[in-house]
Amino acid sequence: MLIRKPADIAPSEITPPEVWRRRRDLLKGTLALAGLAALPGAGAALSADDGGETPTAIEHITQYNNFYEFGAGKRDPSIHAQALVTRPWSIRIDGECEAPREIGIEDILARYPQEERLYRLRCVEAWAMVIPWQGFPLASLLKDVRPTSRARYVAFETLHDPEQMPGQRRGVLDWPYREGLRIDEAMHPLTLLATGLYGETLPNQNGAPLRLVVPWKYGFKSIKSIVRISLVENQPVTAWNARQPGEYGFYANVNPAVDHPRWSQKTHRMIGEGLLAKPRETLPFNGYGEAVAPLYAGMDLRRFF
């Protein structure tokens, strides 16, 4: 079992997966006996005994989402994403690689061993969550298709289906949603393809059946419900950068020294703590600087934001 921790989350503040699994199982039995099934109780049962920072309660993770394909409101995805059909589901991998392929989600689950990692995910609106993800390194999949020397970037694409994704009927973005990474970012061991959270299958509103998680970047880089991954030579177009380039850069690294035009990035709050909680200092690269800063050596991170 592999658990990654950003520098600003002390080991004593993290609930180990085996502990929250045991508590979840105990909670399920208790609720069954009591005839209850309240989701907030599940989140409370996963709190750390020492009162320190813990994984965000599951009701916040699953009911406070940015997934514009299902609406612009934070609760919209939890309401409208339930009709999304995620089985069968296949992902096309193509472009500058020697072994392009189309692979189904069940084959992915069988082929790539699932790991559990505790990652902090940040949003540009100055909030964050700590989420126990289940998934596997993106590098594992990319190595299997054998990128060529011309593969300098990796482009991602979300399902485009306005019938299932009512938000795509509006021109908020140029659909389908697209994202991209440099090849070295994509191959970094922290970059995850997530298939679940809290030990369960990934909920639709959180990007089922397969989403990207890049913990040192803002959350909008973590594209959801992926149907295509392409290895390309040139920097790909990305959804929010194309829509508002002055606000959303291609790199989207968490950099507290670069303010969003409409708010400061220097501090953030954890979802679930409430607006009265003291804001926390935002660390460069979301606290993963020791691991990822060498990727950007010599770059002007105010220009390439």
The model carries a pTM of 0.84
Question: pLDDT tens digit string along 45-65?
Answer: 222 223 446 899 999 999 999
- Per the structure, the count of domains in the chain is 1
Decide if 126 contacts 263 (C-beta within 8 A): yes
Find the mean pLDDT for residues 92-117. 97
- pLDDT of 275 reads 84
Find the mean pLDDT for residues 27-33. 31
Range of the domain at 268: 11-296
Point out the least confidently predicted range of 22-26, 182-186, 201-205, 297-301: 22-26
Rounded percentage of the chain residues whose pLDDT exceeds 70: 83
Question: pLDDT tens digit string along 140-194?
Answer: 999 999 999 999 999 999 999 999 999 999 999 999 999 999 999 999 999 999 9
Is 304 domain-assigned? no
* Separation CA 245–CA 59 (nearest Å): 33
Point out the least confidently predicted range of 37-46, 203-212, 245-254: 37-46
DSSP annotation of 275: T
- Strands 101-104, 178-182: pairing kind: unpaired
Is 100 domain-assigned? yes
Q: Binning pLDDT at 50, 70 and 90, where does residue 124 land?
A: confident
Is 56 domain-assigned? yes
Q: Binning pLDDT at 50, 70 and 90, where does residue 274 land?
A: confident
Find the mean pLDDT for residues 269-286. 92
Is 301 domain-assigned? no
Phi, psi of 89 (to 5 degrees): -155, 135
Is 60 domain-assigned? yes
Q: Taking 80 as the threshold, does the pLDDT of residue 79 lie above it?
A: yes
CB atoms within 10 A of CB 176: 19
Is 167 domain-assigned? yes
Distances (CA, A) of 106 to 29, 89, 91, 111, 138: 29, 8, 11, 9, 16
CATH of the domain at 260: 3.90.420.10
